[in-house]
Amino acid sequence: MSVRTDLPSPGWRGWLTTDTPRSRTQARLGRAWAGWTTFRRNRLAVAGLLIVAALVAVAAFAPLLAPYHPYAQDLGSRLEAPGAAHWLGTDAFGRDILSRLIFGTRLTLMIVVLVAATAPLAGLVIGTVAGYFGGWVDTVLMRLTDIALAFPKLILALAFVAALGPGIENAVIAIAVTSWPPYARIARAETLTVRRADFISAARLQGASSLRIILGHIMPLCVASLIVRTTLDMAGVILTAAGLGFLGLGAQPPLPEWGAMIASGRQYVLEQWWVAAMPGLAIFIVSLGFNLLGDGLRDVLDPKGD
Amino acid sequence: MTAMIDIRDLRVTFGRGADAVAAVDGVTLSVRGGESFGLVGESGSGKSTVLRAVSGLNDEWTGRIEVAGAEQGTKRPKGFFKQCQMVFQDPYGSLHPRHTVDRILAEPIAIHAMGDADARIDRVLRDVGLGPAFRFRYPHQLSGGQRQRVAIARALVLEPRVLLLDEPTSALDVSVQAEILNLLRRLRAEHGLTLVLVTHNLAVVANLCDRLAVMNRGRLVEEMTVEELRRETAREPYTRQLLRASQGYDRAVAESFRDYA
């Protein structure tokens, strides 16, 4: 008699999907696995994740992947069309566009990470504090947010860069300073929906401090929509950074920042289209990747979808 | 026996000026230590508001509230919450959706720095009839009755002397209601708890309480023992009407109802 193999043999999959986890780690991993299963069902979101993963990989291994040095000039072969020697052509100084794009991923990633690590965090703190305490705290913080929201984003960023001096770090600061208000709004709205919930009352009745309630009970419920919003906003951040670069206020030459590369290709755009089109294409693909990823994350994280 | 909870002339008003509504209008009552006391009334009678004022959730009240011999202000010291805990009506709303049972129960232990969290969580889970298998589940993996048991465990983990229950069974199936009531009766005996139960369901009161007070429109209409409730020897006409209403719907009875202000 053969051994029955159709038993609900658990293995690691069963360990992850069990109804009775035996440890904190198992419960957490099980939850993550359930999220991944939902995410995986959305093909486009997986494509977005692959694009973003590729961006990270290219940034990490840029020196190995790039065929030329990004600053290496070859004035003999300037403005060459895409071909065997230079797959994406060369720019006005004969620099290899592909190599510059590859090194440019590092700048793009740096901008994305720095903005994602500051603006949503500031918005989260301001929004949850305003929403939880209400009253004059709410009034003061939200009027500040209103004022910040009333400025046109790019113009305010321009003003900041003009005051601080051009450069990629200042561009990041300018973007972060101008992009926190929507996050504060979202975090406050989420806070208002849960602030009167019984589980918050229960936490208060256990003697939990306001700090503990905001950090441990309210923020985890706001984080999901903020992550989704941040991912969707990343495309805009990349475009704003590119816009600042294009206007000459972001990354300075010879840095291979994609927006600055488009700007330098502008004067040849009719005859040597690849100089501006290739970095434009790179911005397009990466922005699309973040948008698709954000859509997929919304399916997984948004508590309203439960 | 001394009073565990003593309330004198409690008033709670919502709104201001012309819109002001007196939700609780001069309530005085006293609950002895170890007693199980029911607070009964129809929706909007102010019974839950009394409970929220006692628990410290509502801080817009006047009068005098004493719990365990200490007079309480509107802001409660941390130690108060070790004396007095509350269980909410809706177990679907009273557990944090992103916290495991383990985290829910570990939090009060951490707040009060009681230590020995593992053993305490294990004990309290057994106490409410949930095994260790439930410890690392999320609320969405639990049924309504199991959630209410977790909510009761959360209240008990601080080892309080007073348990305030706000309609603890009205959001549950009838069969689960009985389980939860049995659990509460057993826990009360084992831990020597003082219970204050708010409900509109007289059967629940008869099942769990020794004494009850009837509220209508923010006022205390009548206090009686459960024996008197069973014998239906209510003095006040409003209480008699409430008793008739609880016996089920009857057109003749419904038409005889009138407003008692």
Of B112, B137, B154, the CB nearest to A202: B154
- Alpha-carbon gap: A302 to the closest alpha carbon of chain B (Å): 12
pLDDT band at residue A252 under the 50/70/90 scheme: confident
Assess if residue B261 is contained within a domain: no
Tokens standing for residue A88: 């994406």
In a domain, B141, yes or no: yes
Please give the pLDDT value at position A6: 47
Count structural domains, chain B.
Answer: 1
List the CATH number of the domain containing B186: 3.40.50.300
Dump pLDDT digits (tens) for B212-257. Answer: 999 998 899 899 999 888 888 888 888 888 888 877 777 777 777 7
Rounded to a whole number, what is the distance in Å from the CA of B93 to chain A's nearest CA? Answer: 6
Contact yes or no for B136 and A22 at CB 8 A: yes
Query: Given A27, A220, A303, which is nearest B136 (Cβ)?
Result: A27
Q: How confident is the model at residue A10 (pLDDT cuts 50, 70, 90)?
A: low
Cβ pair A282, A101 in contact under 8 A: yes
Domain interval for residue B179: 3-256
Higher pLDDT, A2 or A14: A14
Residues in chain A within 8 Å Cβ distance of B141: 19
B81 vs A244: which has the higher pLDDT = B81
Q: Are strands B211-216 and B219-225 parallel, antiparallel or unpaired?
A: antiparallel
Which residue in chain B has the smallest CA separation from A301? B98
Q: Is a pLDDT exceeding 60 seen at residue B1?
A: no
The verdict on B78 touching A (C-beta cutoff 8 Å) is yes
Which sign does the torsion angle of CA B201, B207, B209, B214 carry?
A: positive
Given B81, B93, B136, which is nearest A206 (Cβ)? B81
Q: What is the pLDDT of residues B84-115, one digit of tens each?
A: 999 999 998 999 988 999 999 999 999 999 88
The answer as to whether B28 is a domain residue is yes
Mean pLDDT of B150-157: 94
The residue ranking higher by pLDDT, B249 or A255, is A255
- Binary contact (B133, A20; C-beta < 8 A): yes
Q: What is the pTM of this model?
A: 0.84
Q: Give me the residue spans of the domains in chain A.
A: 35-70+89-305
In a domain, residue B113? The reply is yes
Distance CA A192, CA A130 (A): 9
Tell me how far CA of residue B217 lies from CA of B25, B43, B56, B88, B261, in angstroms: 8, 9, 22, 22, 7
Average pLDDT over every residue of A14-36: 83
Q: What is the pLDDT of residue B98?
A: 87
Q: What is the 3-state secondary structure (H, E, C) of chain A?
A: CCCCCCCCCCHHHHHHHCCCCCCHHHHHHHHHHHHHHHHHHCHHHHHHHHHHHHHHHHHHCHHHHCCCCCCCCCHHHCCCCCCCCCCCCECCCCCEHHHHHHHHHHHHHHHHHHHHHHHHHHHHHHHHHHHHHCHHHHHHHHHHHHHHHHCCHHHHHHHHHHHHCCCHHHHHHHHHHHHHHHHHHHHHHHHHHHHCCHHHHHHHHCCCCHHHHHHHHHHHHHHHHHHHHHHHHHHHHHHHHHHHHHCCCCCCCCCCCHHHHHHHHHHHCCCCCHHHHHHHHHHHHHHHHHHHHHHHHHHHHCHHHC
The verdict on a CB contact (< 8 Å) between B86 and A26 is no
Q: Mean of the per-residue pLDDT values for chain A? A: 87
CB atoms within 10 A of CB A279: 29
Question: Is residue A111 over pLDDT 60?
Answer: yes
Q: What is the pLDDT of residues B164-176, one digit of tens each?
A: 999 998 888 888 8
Mean pLDDT over all residues of chain B? 89
If we measure between CA atoms, which residue out of A58, A96, A89 comes closest to residue A74?
A96
Chain B residues with beta carbon closer than 8 angstroms to that of A218: none
Q: How far is CA A28 from CA A298, B96, B137, B189, in A?
A: 19, 15, 10, 37
Which of 134-163 (B) contact A at CB < 8 A?
134, 136-138, 140-141, 151, 154, 158
Average pLDDT over residues A222-233: 88
* CATH H-level superfamily of A35-70+89-305: MetI-like (1.10.3720.10)
As a whole number, mean pLDDT of residues A290-306 equals 75
Would you state the structure tokens that stand for residue B125, as one six-digit string? 């889970």
Residue % of chain B over a pLDDT of 90: 52
- Would B132 be classed as within a structural domain? yes
Min distance B136 CA to chain A CA atoms (Å): 6
What is d(CA B115, CA A117) in angstroms, rounded to the nearest whole number?
Answer: 35
Phi, psi of B119 (to 5 degrees): -65, -40
